[in-house]
Amino acid sequence: MKVALFIPCYVDQFYPQVGIATLELLTKLGVEVTYPLQQTCCGQPMANSGFAHLTPNCDSLFIKNFSDFDYIVCPSGSCTLHIKEHLHDEIRPDEALSIRKKIYELTEFLTDILKVKNLTASFPHKVGLHQSCHGQRGLHLSQMTELTAPPFSKPERLLRMVDGLQLIELDRKDECCGFGGTFCVTEEAVSVKMGKDRITDHTKHEAEFITGGDMSCLMHLEGILRRQHSHVRVKHIAEILNAQ
C-alpha cells in the first residue's frame, strides 16, 4: 500500500507539529508514508473566494505530486473535501478523478481503511470536539444534527480509544466556528463572534482542550483564546491520537 501524505499549506507553514503527529501516528500503525516534496496547496482559498478559474495550475501540480499513490491522507477535512469535489484537469481528467476517489481525511482513513480498533495513546484531559463543517457535513465524518438519522462519529470513536481522555458534551454539537476561509477576514465581525460563541460552549463545559480535524478552525479559535488570555488550548486530533 503506497500512501502519500498531503499536508495543507498553512499546516506546513504554521503547524508543523500536526504534520509530524500525523506522520508518526500512521507509521506507528504500520503504514509506510511518503511526503511528496513539491506539494503546495489544494487551491481551496481561491475557489471559495470565487476564483476557481485560477486554480488549474494548482490542480495539475497536485495531480503531478499525488497520482502515483494508492491512498492520499490529509489531516484536514476541508482540504480533502475540496480535492474530492473540485479537482479537475483538462489534459488528465482520469487521473484527477482517480485522485478524488483515493484521497482520505485522516480520521476516515484510520476508521474506514485501516479499521483501527485500538490505539496506544494517552491524553488525561477534558477535551471538547469541534466538528469542522467540511469534515462533518461535507465528508460525513459524523452524523449531522439536522438530519433524522442514526448517530455516529468517526473522530469521536477514535478519541474514545485514548487513555484518560474525557470527552465533554456541548450544547451545540455541530455549530460552525466562523472561520470559513477568507470569510474570517471579509466578515470579521461575525466570524469572531461565531468563534467566541464556539469557545464559550467549550469553556462552559470545562474543556481544557479543543480538538478537531481542521487546523484552520482551530487556528481561528486559538487566535481568540490567546487574545482572551484563556488557559484553554487547541490541539489537532492527530496530536491527541499520537499523544504518549
**Cβ nearer to other proteins, comparing 58 with 165:** 58
Single out the segment in contact with other proteins by CB under 8 A; choices: 98-106, 112-120, 177-185, 203-211: 177-185
Single out the segment in contact with other proteins by CB under 8 A; choices: 90-98, 119-127, 159-167, 222-230: 222-230
Residue 96 binds other proteins, judged by CB under 8 A: no
Residue 84 binds other proteins, judged by CB under 8 A: no
Residue 112 binds other proteins, judged by CB under 8 A: no
Q: Of these, 32, 90, 94, 146, which contacts other proteins (CB under 8 A)?
A: 146
Those residues whose C-beta lies under 8 Å from the C-beta of residue 128, and which sit 6 or more positions away, are 167, 168, 170, 201, 202, 205, 207, 209, 210, 211
Annotate 73-101 with b (16+ C-beta within 10 A) or e (fewer).
Answer: bbbbbbbbbbbbebbbbeebeebbeebee
Residue 133 binds other proteins, judged by CB under 8 A: yes
Closest residue by Cα to residue 133 from 97, 90, 193, 173: 173
Residue 17 binds other proteins, judged by CB under 8 A: yes
Cell of 156: 469521536
Residue 91 binds other proteins, judged by CB under 8 A: no
Residue 239 binds other proteins, judged by CB under 8 A: no
Residue 120 binds other proteins, judged by CB under 8 A: no
**Cβ nearer to other proteins, comparing 116 with 219:** 219
Footprint of other proteins on residues 63-82 (CB under 8 A)?
none
Q: At what angle do helices 93-102 and 77-86 cross, to 10 degrees?
A: 150
Q: For 211, list phi and psi in degrees, rounded to 5.
A: -120, 170
Closest residue by Cα to residue 106 from 177, 230, 181, 8: 8
CB of 186 to other proteins, least distance (A): 6
Closest residue by Cα to residue 47 from 104, 3, 85, 91: 85
Q: How many CA atoms lie within 13 A of 187 on its CB side?
A: 13
Footprint of other proteins on residues 191-220 (CB under 8 A)?
191-195, 197, 219-220
Q: How far is CA 222 from CA 139, 215, 228, 240, in A?
A: 24, 10, 10, 16
Single out the segment in contact with other proteins by CB under 8 A; choices: 94-102, 129-137, 158-166, 204-212: 129-137
Residue 128 binds other proteins, judged by CB under 8 A: no
Q: Of these, 3, 58, 87, 110, which contacts other proteins (CB under 8 A)?
A: 58
Footprint of other proteins on residues 151-170 (CB under 8 A)?
none
Q: Of these, 128, 155, 178, 212, which contacts other proteins (CB under 8 A)?
A: 178
**Cβ nearer to other proteins, comparing 5 with 165:** 5
Closest residue by Cα to residue 88 from 79, 100, 76: 100
